[in-house]
Amino acid sequence: MIEVATIGVLAGLVSGLLGVGGGILFVPGLVFVIGLSQVDAEATSLLAIVPVVMLGAWQQHRYGNVRVRDGVLIGLLAVVGSVAGVAVANIVDGRTLRLAFAGVTLVVAAQLVRGAVSSSRPDPAEPESP
């Protein structure tokens, strides 16, 4: 019980700090501590993410860090994309997909580090129009 609560707090901390849902901690927590199957853990994690991102988005909005129009556009298109993603997951071999995504993820991580250590940054995003 304490283990699960600790994983929950940590997942929330990562979610708020980095702007992710926390699934990266929820899923292994549900699999290894509670003993759910991978599929059930991913499903249960998605439900747990909903209130977390709602509260986090509201707090970030109060800090002035949410660009509402961009976020809504991304979120709505992503809903469409996720339907395609479910179809892809049923066609392509899971192991191949995971290895491909792991490779892409490492490239993106390297670019983030490079961006953070270099002094120059791309131009700031356009402000939201009134």
Partner 1 sequence: MSRARSLKLAGIGTLAGLFSGVFGVGGGSVIVPLLILWIGYDERAAGGTSLLAMIPIAAVGALAQAAYGNIHFADALLVGLPALVGVTCGTSLQQRVPARGVSMLFAALLVALAIELVVQ
Site residues (CB under 8 A) for partner 1, limited to 15-44: 15-24, 26-30, 34, 36, 38-40, 42-44
CA dihedral 127, 79, 36, 103 (to 10 degrees): -70
**Residue selected from 4, 32, 96, 130 as contacting partner 1 according to rule CB under 8 A:** 4
Instruction: Identify residues 84-123 at the interface with partner 1 (CB under 8 A).
Output: 84-89, 97-99, 101-103, 105-106, 108-113, 115-117, 121-123
Site for partner 1 in 67-86 (CB under 8 A): 67-86
Helices 94-117/68-91 angle, 10° precision: 150
Q: List C-alpha distances in Å: 48 to 5, 23, 41, 90.
A: 13, 9, 10, 24
Among 93, 96, 120, 126, binds partner 1 (CB under 8 A): 126
